[in-house]
Structure formats: structure tokens, C-alpha cells
Amino acid sequence: MPADPSRVIANLRELAALTSDANGAQRVAFTATWQRARDWFADKLAELPASYRIERHRDAAGNSWVTLPGASPKSLVLGSHLDSVPNGGWLDGALGVVTALEVLCGIARDSDGRPPFTIRVVDWADEEGARFGRSLFGSSAFAGTHTIAEDRARTDANGVTMEAALAECGIEIDRIGEAASERSNIAAYLELHIEQGPVLERLGLPLGAVLGTKGVERHAITFLGETAHSGSTPMADRRDALAAAARLALEIRPIAMRHTDAVCTMGSLKTFPGIVTAVVGRAEATLDQRDLDAEVLATLLREAQQASRRFADEERCTVEWSRILSIEPVPFHPELIELCREAIVETLGAPAHSLPSGPLHDAAEVARLGVPTVMMFAQSLRGISHNKIEDTREEHLSQAVAAFDRLAAKTIAWIESQPD
């Protein structure tokens, strides 16, 4: 019996009604509203027939696991996150968790509660990092890429420490790494999520297969020239740091556009002394570059650095770069991407589109461990997310549930075909 999209949509609406206000979803991790969302989810499990023998537990990092034990301990994990940003949308994260539960129930029904492989649903704790600025909290603890020392120093806007907020939820900060014990026997991980961008809508497609999450190179760039009087300094004598920075701001566009999905953003620029009567002596910019291909990402960085030196020379300035952050691209599993494409084609009767994800997702933390992983995206209306107006057409939600259900069935057959 296939998954029932109308039940998924009704459940999502119920969850939204319970955890949103006039400004949108308020399921910020480690708050009372988030706990309410998780209690609601637990109640949904309690309604299921006892014959399904479903087990439920929270790991040391607060990730919530639902397990339908199968004949083999080898498991297929389906997941996403129930937490949201403040004033968030109703689908970000919740679509994946609620759909995963529906798929698990369908497998339980079809197998009389005893599938050939173990099926698990995970609700990752604090994907968004909205309160303490640490995204992918639960999945990174699971993956072993967590940072307890830094996390201990984190506080929210009211000065509450992350350690205290975790303790409120029964999580001991020193033990979050023990979530790694959940890794055993995972044969594959699947995640359904809204795209949160405009690509699928522009192509007129309801669904897409995700190729992986883009890597990030983020740098601070400082151009140094010479501050001088704006009235007395002839144009030819100037060493204008802003001129060099401005030329780079324009040059990063062709640098990015030579590659299909690459993006480069100069998101901030400060000038010093920053007054109307002085030539700019120092300009401080930030540059964020992303691509799915590590070589392309390295090329983006190299070309931007070369351009910055050329512009600095031509403006008789100097330039310095310092790295703020570097995240490797995480490509998903090629065979699972293919299964995802097949599931989309069979559901829609139309060709499948594959795209990289600009935002990071919990799935990247799982894939980083070497677990075969893929994500499916559902179209986001107007490409908007992290906003109360976030939405997806009901028809597209139904297609997403049906296609994800198919993908799960295909993945189970794929696990069966793998050598032990």
C-alpha cells in the first residue's frame, strides 16, 4: 500500500497549527514549542498499531529515532528536522520528517510489521542553529564533526548558555559525541526537503534529485591604499582602496558564471575612514564562493585572488586575504541519485532534473561518513524559505510524497542487491 500524501499534508497542517503563530513557525530547537512538536510526533507514533513493534528513543545529542526492526539489522534511514528558524515556514524540515513516518508506516503495513531490513526515521536536533548559531547540531554529533568546546561558549540572545538549554532538554553537552553509536548498520540515508530556492519553479518542475551540497570558501579581503584629501589629491595620484574592491565586486560575476552552478557573493564592504572628504585608504570586503565540485571551487578562489592582486596593482594598492571558513563539497551517492531520478520520472511521467544544494543539510553530515545518501527536493513557491510565506503547491507535495515513497522502495531493493 503506497504512502498516503493526503495524510502527510493533513499532519503537516496540524503541526503548523500547533507550533506557529501569526509570524510563522516557531519550532526553534531547545524551546518549549520545539518540544511540543516532538511530543506531537510521539503521539502520532502512539496511534500506530502495536503489531508494528515500533521502537523510539533519543540519542545523546537529542536526535529522535524511530525504529521498525526488520529481519536484518541493516537499516534504511529516512530523516530531516522538526526544528525551524523563528518566524519560519511550515515545510522546511517538517516535510521530510512527516513524510518519512508515512513511508515507514506503509512499509510496516506491507510487511505485517516485519520488513526484510530495519527502517528508521530520524528527527535531527537543531538543524537550523537559529538560537545558538550552530547549525547541524545533532547530525554533526552523530557524524563526529561536533565542537563541544565552542558549543560550551555559545549563548542565545538572552544570555542563556547552550549548555543550560541542552540540559533543560536532558542533553549533557559532554556526551553528545555518543550519538555516534547510532551509526552502526546504516546501509543508506534518504531525505526529502523543499528546495528553498527558485530553480525548480523556474524550470516548471515539481521535484528534483539532489547531487550533493556545495562546498564553501569564505574569505575576508582587505585592500590597502592611502587615505588622502578628496579636494587636493589629483586623480592620477590616488591609491584608492575602494576602487580596487569595487572592481573585484564586479569581476566575481564572470568568474562564477564560467561554471554552471557556481555562485560568488561579496556580501559586505566597509571603507575607512569612510567619510565624504577622504579617498578610501582601507576597504574590507567579504567573499563567499560555493560549488559542488572541489576543483571548480578551488578555481573560483584562485581566479578571485588573481583578479584582486591585478586590481590592487593597477590601483597602486596592496591586498590581503584571510580565510573565514572552508567547507568541502559533499557529493551524494551516484547510484542513489540515479534511483532518485528514476523515482521522479516514474511519479511524474516527465524527465528528472538534478541540481546541487546551496544550503547545507543534515544529509551532508551523514554522507560525509561514507553512508550512501541522496536527497530529493520539492519545488518552493517563489523560491522563498525561512519565512512564513514559504509554501509548496499541494499537488507538488503529493507528488513529493509519492516519489519519495518510490525512492525508499527502490533503495530497499538496492540494499538487498549489495554484497555484505
Question: Which lies closer to Zn ion via its Cβ, residue 92 or residue 126?
Answer: 92
Residue 311 one-letter amino acid: F
Q: Minimal distance in Å, beta carbon 92 to Zn ion?
A: 4
CB 124 within 8 Å of CB 61:
no
Q: Binders of Zn ion among 392-411, rule CB under 5 A?
A: none
Question: Which lies closer to Zn ion via its Cβ, residue 93 or residue 212?
Answer: 93
- Return the residue matching grid coordinates 584629501: 229
Residue 209: alpha-carbon gap to chain centroid: 15
Question: Which lies closer to Zn ion via its Cβ, residue 311 or residue 377?
Answer: 377
Q: Minimal distance in Å, beta carbon 403 to Zn ion?
A: 18
The Cα angle at residue 230 between residues 228 and 236, in degrees rounded to 5:
75
Q: Minimal distance in Å, beta carbon 267 to Zn ion?
A: 21
User: Beta strand pairing status for 282-291 and 263-272?
Assistant: antiparallel
Question: Which lies closer to Zn ion via its Cβ, residue 191 or residue 405?
Answer: 191
Separation of alpha carbons 191 and 289, rounded Å: 25
Q: Minimal distance in Å, beta carbon 45 to Zn ion?
A: 22
Interface mask toward Zn ion for 39-78; x: CB under 5 A: ----------------------------------------
Number of residue whose CB is nearest Zn ion: 93
Q: Which run of H or E residues covers position 161?
A: none
Cα dihedral 11, 14, 16, 18, rounded to 10, equals -140
117 forms beta bridges with 72
Residue 394: alpha-carbon gap to chain centroid: 23
Specify the 3-state DSSP secondary structure of 220: strand
25 forms beta bridges with 20, 88
Question: Which lies closer to Zn ion via its Cβ, residue 135 or residue 318?
Answer: 135
Separation of alpha carbons 158 and 28, rounded Å: 14
Question: Which lies closer to Zn ion via its Cβ, residue 93 or residue 372?
Answer: 93
* Total binding residues toward Zn ion, as defined by CB under 5 A: 2
Q: Minimal distance in Å, beta carbon 149 to Zn ion?
A: 26
Question: Which lies closer to Zn ion via its Cβ, residue 116 or residue 359?
Answer: 359
Q: Binders of Zn ion among 74-103, rule CB under 5 A?
A: 92-93
**Cβ-proximal residues to 290 (8 Å cutoff; 6+ apart), any chain:** 214, 215, 216, 217, 262, 263, 264, 297, 358
Question: Which lies closer to Zn ion via its Cβ, residue 92 or residue 251?
Answer: 92
Q: Minimal distance in Å, beta carbon 378 to Zn ion?
A: 12
Q: Minimal distance in Å, beta carbon 406 to Zn ion?
A: 22
Is 24 a binding residue for Zn ion by CB under 5 A? The answer is no
Q: Minimal distance in Å, beta carbon 9 to Zn ion?
A: 18
Give the residue ranges of DSSP H helices in 169-293.
199-203, 241-257
Quick one: which of 92, 61, 69 has its CA closest to 359? Answer: 92
Q: Minimal distance in Å, beta carbon 411 to Zn ion?
A: 21
Specify the 3-state DSSP secondary structure of 408: helix
CB 127 within 8 Å of CB 86:
no
Question: Which lies closer to Zn ion via its Cβ, residue 120 or residue 386?
Answer: 386
Contact footprint for Zn ion (CB under 5 A): 92-93
